[in-house]
A and B are shown apart, each in its own frame.
Chain A
Amino acid sequence: MGGQGITPDSDGLDAFTAVTDEPIRLRGVQKARLESGRQRLALVIVAFALCFASLAGRLTQLALFGTNDTQRFAVRENLAGPRADIMDRNGQILATDLRVPSAYANPKEIWSVDETVEKLHSVLPDLDVATLKARLTADKQFVWIKRDLTPKEQDDIHNLGLPGISFENEERRFYLQSRSVAHVLGFVDTENHGLAGLERVMDQRLMDTKQGPLTLSIDLRVQHAMRDELAKSMANFSCKGAAGLVMDVETGELVAMVSLPDFDSNDPGSASPDARFNRTTLGVYEMGSTFKTFTVAMALDSGKVTLGSGYDASKPIHIGGYTISDYHAENRWLTVPEIFQHSSNIGSAKMALDVGVSAHRAFLSKLGLLSRPKIEVAEVGAPLVPHPWSEISTMTIAFGHGMAVSPVQLAKAAGAMANGGWLIEPTLIKRDGPAPRERVISDKTSKIMRELLREVVTEGTGKLANAEGYDIGGKTGTAEKSERHGYDKHALLSSFLAIFPAQAPRYLVIVILDEPHGTKATYGFATAGWTAAPTAARVIERAAPILQVNPRWDGTPTQIAAKG
């Protein structure tokens, strides 16, 4: 059928009457316009298709491969973060974090402040009504009501059904051994930041929980034995305070470190400043005759003095208005071992002068006695050293007066005397590998010192420290505490420095009693031989089986059979 297309040059009437089923063909400008319209439409379609395609592609990618989004937790500054546990060397937990609920309120969501305050007060009677009301009417969205709730308190508050009150779980530090390791650990504030002791020094390490728990060198059982015996002696001799430590001489690890009086780390606020004063690291004291250990070791090591040498101790020394005399003077010529055994001040002073003032000072500096020690607690005291260092200084320091050091410094230096001549830095953290050390005296000198220390206990002033089977060696030190107007003859600092077993020492024990008073059992004497020495012996008797140091037998089997 030949249809007639509508063309501009045909008759209009004809076009209306014709019915065709031929496609409409456009020519010319109209066609161009339609074409461009089509093109634009195609463009838009393509653009949208691209957008949807990319969306679909991204969705597919997400569905198949996931995302690497690191989760970010909203941290509010006033919430306590988790903290690593602290354990003793055997895995006993000393300090840990537990999640406890705390109640807070959103003042904007509270309906009736008075009703809320009244109901809360009925459940938590020790909350102050006025401050609570002030908090609940504050223009904030978060106010604490009470932190560290017991489970019962949480239930009671929950059951009140008050709007605007919610709970937040916080990590709170609990010290499981209350007093035993108080001075070692220190304590934290409400935001779990360390304020004192180890908690403060190791704050960054403890906040990094990914490193796991922190293991100390402390052995809780030995720590308790030391604390128990110190407490008994402190009560027995009515002392102002006491300090004690047990150190492994081969590794420098402090197995026990006790200072009395002490406090409860869970409640440090209620402790007096004296109780929070760490006598082992912060307190510096004139140690008295325990310093003779260093004088004799120095003299022997320098070669200027031998065991056969001796000094005239028959007359007191008068120098610069001071008098140096001996307690229980022998009033005769004394050999070097006798000077040590009888603890002669005169002999020690002369011995130190023989070595020389500058050599003496250099030796003590080498032992770390003249500088502040490094230990992992925040409370560390610097030693008191005389300025200027004169001949008199050398003479008095030779027998432990005129210079004040802390017990932990004494332990570091004395350890080197006992372990073969190696100076090792004491530490509170468990040491797994070998400790960095430097040689300060010869092995031979150390051997001689060990024998001399043993003789003090078998024959000299330390007889009450001679616990059977443990071969304890040591040196007593009874220092008169210097008050502002000279030396107070009645205030003593009695100390005992012990090593065991003396032939091959593994541990060093220091016991210091601050201002002991004699009892009937000690015939009124408060000197170290009567007070600190027996305390140290009892600590060693309790600690040795724990530390796997076996007592030595003479070797006769019948001895055992007889005791059986």
Chain B
Amino acid sequence: MIRLMNMNAAFLAVTVAVAFANYHVKYAAQHEAQSLAKINKEIARTDDRIRVLDAEWSHLNEPERLQALAGRHLALGHITASQVVQLGDLPARFQAADAKAGSGVARPAPVVPAAALLTDDR
């Protein structure tokens, strides 16, 4: 009889403990799910903002707009053929002139003209 009561008490205790654990896990999972949903929403919102910025960047880079701005603020014109040079078209560096300029003075490395860097040798 006592053994039966003990067993009952034991089962009751186990049931209560399991119930507590169950609800604890349940609420913890719910909490996690809520944070996950919040983060996902934040990601979606940030993605949208990135898309808006990408669109604005392309819009600001509209060639017509840049052309108008360049015309207003810069004194640049269209590139003419005479302004495009390839590396192979340049004359060889003349050693005689350098030798005269400064003997014994350390000479800087040859500078590649900027124009040549801009063209692709095809």
Contact = CB atoms under 8 A, between A and B. Distances in A.
A322 to B, nearest CB: 45
A303 B23 CA distance: 93
- Place the interface of chain B in its size category: 20 to 34
Nearest to B52: A98
A93 interface: yes
B58 A93 contact: yes
Nearest to A506: B122
B58 A92 contact: yes
Contacts of A93: 54-55, 58
B55 to A, nearest CB: 5
B84 A545 contact: yes
A223 B79 CA distance: 17
B55 A541 contact: no
B84 A551 contact: yes
- Place the interface of chain A in its size category: 35 or more
A93 B57 CA distance: 9
Interface in B28-77: 48, 51-52, 54-55, 58-59, 61-64, 67
Contacts, number: 81
Given A221-B63, A550-B122, A560 B89 contact: yes
A228 B91 contact: no
A503 to B, nearest CB: 14
Interface string B82-96: 101110011100000
A224 B90 contact: no
Nearest to B91: A557
B48 A541 contact: no
Interface in A200-250: 220-221, 223-225, 228
Contact of B48 (A94, A99, A553, A558): A99
A135 to B, nearest CB: 29
B119 interface: yes
B84 A98 contact: no
Given A98-B52, A221-B63, A561 B91 contact: yes
Contact of A563 (B64, B82, B91): B82
A468 B62 contact: no
Contact of B55 (A174, A469, A544, A563): A174
Contacts of B58: 92-94, 96, 176-177
A551 B59 CA distance: 31
B81 interface: yes
A92 B61 contact: yes
A178 interface: yes
A84 to B, nearest CB: 12
B54 A550 contact: no
Nearest to A551: B81
Given A93-B55, A468-B82, A553 B63 contact: no
A399 interface: no
Given A220-B63, A557-B90, A561-B91, A468 B81 contact: yes
A542 interface: yes
B63 A550 contact: no
Interface string A174-188: 101111100000000
A560 B64 contact: no
A467 interface: yes
Contacts of A560: 85, 89-91
A470 interface: yes
B80 interface: yes
A550 B80 CA distance: 11
B120 interface: yes
B78 interface: yes
Contacts of B84: 469, 545, 550-551
Nearest to B55: A96
A178 B55 CA distance: 12
A96 B79 CA distance: 32
Contacts of B91: 557-558, 560-561
Contacts of B90: 557, 560
Given A93-B58, A176-B62, A469 B89 contact: no
Interface centre among A174, A180, A544, A551 (most CB of B within 10 A): A551
Nearest to B118: A545
A221 B79 CA distance: 14
Contacts of A224: 63-64, 67
13 contacts: A98-B51, A177-B58, A180-B62, A224-B64, A468-B80, A468-B81, A545-B79, A550-B121, A555-B89, A557-B91, A560-B89, A561-B91, A563-B82
Interface of B: 48, 51-52, 54-55, 58-59, 61-64, 67, 78-82, 84-86, 89-91, 119-122
Given A93-B55, A548-B120, 4 more contacts: A96-B55, A177-B58, A550-B121, A557-B89
